[in-house]
Amino acid sequence: MRPACRPPLLLRTTYPMAEDGASTRGGELATIRAQLQAERERLAAELRALSGPGSNGRADPAFPEHPTEHAGDMEEHERSLALQTNLRRMRDQVEEALGRMGRGEYGRCRACGAEIAIERLRALPHATRCVPCQEAGRG
Ligand SMILES: [Zn+2]
């Protein structure tokens, strides 16, 4: 579990001025949706690469499990498993956010029902709680 996330500072100068349809909340959400879909593809590709033969990057199907595998390989294997677990969790969060978009529930705090600020969604697209609820540990 990470401590409460704060939006990266580098985002603060990139807000477009509200002057056309693309910078309405709906337009912002469409952008975030496209980002989530791209992220889902990226995570799926990484997971495929990790879970392939030789799961540590060395595709080596001609040489199956070998009993004399040394300790370094084991550590690498465990790191790879931890990474896969991480990637799956991120993918689940992305899937869940896309699912909420499909149901029209996206962008609402699951604890208090308030609209989550678009700045927060931009920084953390899978956020399910508004900042006050996140900080209070509600939901
Ligand atoms: Zn809330």
Q: How far is the CA of 99 from the centre of ligand 1 (A)?
A: 19
What does pTM read for this prediction? 0.67
Does residue 9 have a pLDDT over 90? no
Per-residue pLDDT at 84: 95
Query: Of all residues in the chain, what percent carry a pLDDT higher than 70?
Result: 71
Q: How far is the CA of 111 from the centre of ligand 1 (A)?
A: 5
Give me the chain's average pLDDT, please. Answer: 81
Q: How far is the CA of 15 from the centre of ligand 1 (A)?
A: 23
Q: How far is the CA of 5 from the centre of ligand 1 (A)?
A: 15
Q: What domains are defined for the chain?
A: 23-56+73-136 (1.20.120.910)
Q: How far is the CA of 107 from the centre of ligand 1 (A)?
A: 11
One-letter identity of residue 86: N
Q: How far is the CA of 39 from the centre of ligand 1 (A)?
A: 25
Q: How far is the CA of 85 from the centre of ligand 1 (A)?
A: 28
Token output for 33: 């949706």
Average pLDDT over residues 113-134: 95
Q: What are phi and psi of 115, to 5 degrees?
A: -70, 130
Q: How far is the CA of 32 from the centre of ligand 1 (A)?
A: 20
Q: What are phi and psi of 35, to 5 degrees?
A: -65, -40
Average pLDDT over residues 1-23: 52
Q: How far is the CA of 91 from the centre of ligand 1 (A)?
A: 24
